Copies of this chain bind each other. A is one copy, B any other.
Amino acid sequence: MKLIRDPVHGYIEVPDRLLPVISNPLFQRLRYVKQTALAYMVYPGMNHSRFEHSLGVMHLSLEFLKYIKENSSLEFLDQELMELIATTAMLHDVGHLPFSHTFENALQVAKRIYGVDVFERDKKTHVILGTQLVESGLGSELEKSFRTFEDPVKFITRVLLETPSNKEEKLAHLIISNFIDADRSDYLLRDSYYAGVEYGQFDIERLKRFLFFENDMLVVLSKILPIVEQFLLARMYMFQNVYFHSVVGMYNAILSQAIAQLLRDGYLVVPTEVKDFLVFDDNFVVSKLQLVRHELRNAIMYRQGFKRIKIEPGPSCIDKLESMKKEIYEDVRSSDGLLVYHEFNDVPYREEKDEAVYILTPHGVERLKRISPVIGSLSEIRKVVVGYHVSREDLGRKYEKILTECGD
């Protein structure tokens, strides 16, 4: 067992079985992928990496499992299975490209604006890349660590691809990827710690003690309904104020634009081999920025030269912008990225056929919306940000007009 000091969780105790994975360069690489891309433009403390986040998710998954095992008397959940689930949790982001979601957005920009179809899959890019990397780069370590499992790599990939095939994998999936899970728990606590904002905090000590696994569902005791609400609200506030902050959004849009141009021009290629993936980190992308026009580089590096327009569009405005997409994309393209356009949206909570937060009440298991008017009241967050370089005030005026007329 190895102790790692973590400012969010205090000490993280790493079981020995996980050490070879942590030492592998594929995992160490996550030190050089920022958790929240350019959020440090507004919140200067947000320089934290996917590396520490991944350790935190691993830690929380072990904590969750400890209490779930007790609360639901799960005999099948032995120490080795717990550690395999924790390893899966730890690897959930191993396939993230530089600047994480900003690069994934750049792939879309490259396609939409420049017609360059670099990498398209029906699932999230980082999940697909991640499972490929686990298969090709971590197989032998995993097999040595988890000897009683026939195929630990299969376990991990099935869970990460959201195709669990048995009870054990279902539990793992619910711990790692769910409305309330170890991943979200860690990033809310961690991102708000580094941003220095309190609204991302919630009572993790209480939450983790009242989780159950019943009938293949992750279930929460009704007495902690306030914590569940607090959790989902915390997430909503983090989206509204941090991840979707209009200044953060504009700089990420400019970075996406720059990456898209680098992809278009062949200066960046999404790697498929472990060897190439290893050096494909934030530093690598930054070192290529000298190849894009200086207005983009100066904006991304030094906050120079761009202004922004922002709205929270209503339904009719969304329709109107949708109908103008072709023109907007043309303006972005013809200005060579001196105009950028980005739409944000997130649904704070949604219940679908098999997906919901399940609450264990005295009258049985209920879906969250049935018993929480607060959560029932939450609606989709939508924002539109337009950025333009000061040398293109003409575009600024055009979009100022469009958005003002369109806005609520």
- B-binding residues in A (CB < 8 A): 3-8, 10-11, 23, 25, 28-29, 31-32, 40, 42-45, 47-49, 51-52, 55, 193-199, 201-203, 205-206, 209, 226-227, 229-230, 233, 237, 240-241, 278-279, 283-284, 286-287, 290, 298, 301-304, 373-374, 376-379
Contacts and interface: CB of A to CB of B under 8 A. Distances in A.
A47 B44 contact: no
Contact of A287 (B28, B43, B55, B287): B287
Given A5-B196, A203-B198, A230-B199, A301 B48 contact: no
A325 to B, nearest CB: 26
Nearest to A34: B47
A408 to B, nearest CB: 8
Given A28-B303, A237-B226, A197 B193 contact: no
Nearest to A377: B377
A7 B377 contact: no
A29 B297 CA distance: 12
Contacts of A43: 5
Contacts of A373: 377-379
Given A55-B44, A199-B227, A241-B226, A374 B233 contact: yes
B193 A198 contact: no
Contacts of A229: 233
Contacts of A241: 226
Nearest to A7: B196
A28 B41 CA distance: 10
Contacts of A196: 5-8, 10
Given A5-B197, A23-B304, A199-B227, 12 more contacts: A3-B209, A4-B44, A6-B44, A7-B45, A11-B205, A11-B209, A44-B51, A44-B52, A44-B55, A199-B203, A279-B290, A373-B377
B240 A29 contact: no
A62 B29 CA distance: 39
Contact of A48 (B47, B52, B279, B298): B47
Contacts of A5: 42-45, 195-197
Contacts of A199: 202-203, 226-227, 230
A287 B298 contact: no
In the A-B complex, list the 5 residue pairs whose CB atoms are closest, starting with the nearest.
A7-B196, A377-B377, A287-B287, A44-B52, A25-B302
Nearest to A52: B44
Given A47-B48, A195-B5, A301 B25 contact: yes
16 contacts: A5-B197, A11-B205, A11-B209, A23-B304, A25-B302, A32-B301, A44-B51, A44-B55, A45-B52, A199-B226, A199-B227, A283-B283, A286-B287, A374-B374, A374-B377, A377-B377
B44 A304 contact: no
Contacts of A55: 44
A4 B245 CA distance: 14
A302 B28 contact: yes
A206 B5 CA distance: 10
A209 B42 CA distance: 18
Contact of A304 (B25, B205, B298, B377): B25
A202 B45 CA distance: 20
A205 B286 contact: no
A90 to B, nearest CB: 13
Contact of A29 (B278, B284, B302): B302
Nearest to A373: B377
Contacts of A290: 279
B203 A226 contact: no
Given A377-B376, A377-B377, A226 B198 contact: no
Nearest to A35: B47
Contacts of A209: 3, 11
